């Protein structure tokens, strides 16, 4: 296939490389001229040294080149940049092919998951074309060909099949899951909990505290997703619990690292600069907290992350607040 790819971050490069290695022609678009020059010369991403892309892949600054005549369109941009990118897509050419979302987030102000942003910008009639990939996966491992399992989804079975068939390789296993909205909430909300987990590590609260954060965090994620009409079991799968386990357990996770740096005394701005990449959990924390208030869904860990980042709440005070909450019978 001829595949258009939007975004050349580490994750976008890793997946574009995976696709080109399977024989697809990939045209990857970016707004970063210096990066495009490097990628076309070396086929290697600066954040993923030693692992050049294989196959037929090229990089461009011209969006029309990534949209013209493609059989599949894939995106890996930031949540904050998602709407502006697709507004530009609308101006150039509305795709008639499947569109695969690989980003994870909830838009601020609107509270929309990313597929809903596409419908808002390009029209709800594109619902049959929209699919997604989500699950526990690090770009640094995917680009090395290490075994990885994720889920592929779509609002229509035909699109879901295209997603799963196109991305599945010997080392990248894609399980079908038709709960598009469920995998979107799982992928977005786990980033917020990962910030809390990183902070717990930075405060040296111990493994028990992190286990509790992950378990109760999954409970929060599930409550929100169910309130939005998603399936409970989706959150217990790869795009919920699986992704949560990965991002809450490794400094490789930018969200975990961000929380860790906050615990070590950095401001949110300093921690973001040190991470060097967009911290999606910090962006989604605002959306998730506002949604929880609208839906009257209690999400105490998410609220504490929001307060720490946006209202400069001290981390030790956040821990104290969580530990002094009224104890109720555990419900899962």
Residues contacting 151, CB < 8 A, separation 6+: 133, 134, 135, 174, 175, 176, 177, 183, 237, 238, 239
**CB distance 100 to 164 below 8 Å:** no
What is the distance between the alpha carbons of residues 202 and 239, in angstroms, rounded to a whole number?
Answer: 26
Active site residue 190: yes
* Partners of residue 113 on adjacent β-strands: 106
What is the distance between the alpha carbons of residues 124 and 133, in angstroms, rounded to a whole number?
Answer: 20
What is the distance between the alpha carbons of residues 27 and 5, in angstroms, rounded to a whole number?
Answer: 6
What is the distance between the alpha carbons of residues 194 and 104, in angstroms, rounded to a whole number?
Answer: 13
Catalytic residue among 43, 104, 190, 223: 190
Q: Which residues are catalytic?
A: 190
């Amino acid at each position: 296939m001829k595949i258009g790819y939007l975004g050349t971050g580490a994750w976008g490069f890793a997946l574009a490389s995976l696709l080109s290695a399977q024989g697809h022609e990939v045209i990857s678009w970016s707004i970063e001229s210096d990066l495009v020059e490097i990628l076309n010369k070396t086929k290697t991403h600066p954040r993923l040294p030693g692992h050049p892309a294989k196959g037929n892949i090229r990089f461009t600054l011209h969006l029309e080149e990534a949209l013209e005549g493609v059989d599949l369109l894939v995106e890996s941009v930031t949540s904050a940049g998602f709407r502006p990118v697709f507004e530009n897509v609308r101006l150039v050419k509305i795709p008639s092919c499947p569109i695969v979302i690989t980003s994870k987030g909830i838009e601020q102000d609107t509270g929309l998951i990313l597929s809903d942003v596409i419908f808002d910008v390009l029209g709800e009639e594109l619902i049959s074309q929209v699919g997604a990939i989500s699950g526990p996966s690090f770009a640094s491992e995917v680009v090395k060909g290490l075994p990885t399992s994720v889920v592929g989804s779509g609002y229509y079975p035909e699109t879901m099949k295209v997603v799963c068939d196109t991305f599945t390789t010997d080392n990248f296993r894609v399980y079908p899951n038709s709960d598009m909205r469920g995998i979107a909430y799982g992928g977005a909300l786990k980033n917020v909990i990962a910030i809390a987990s990183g902070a717990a590590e930075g405060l040296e609260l111990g493994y028990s505290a992190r286990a509790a954060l992950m378990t109760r965090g999954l409970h929060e994620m599930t409550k929100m997703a169910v309130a939005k009409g998603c399936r409970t079991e989706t959150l217990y799968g790869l795009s919920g619990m699986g992704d949560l386990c990965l991002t809450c357990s490794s400094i490789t996770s930018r969200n975990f690292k961000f929380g860790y740096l906050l615990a070590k005394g950095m401001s949110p701005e300093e921690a973001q600069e040190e991470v060097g990449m967009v911290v999606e959990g910090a962006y989604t924390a605002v959306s998730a907290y506002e949604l929880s208030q609208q839906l009257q869904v209690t999400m105490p860990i998410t609220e504490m992350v929001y307060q720490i980042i946006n209202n400069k709440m001290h981390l030790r005070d956040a821990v104290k607040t969580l530990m002094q909450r009224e104890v109720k019978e555990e419900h899962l």
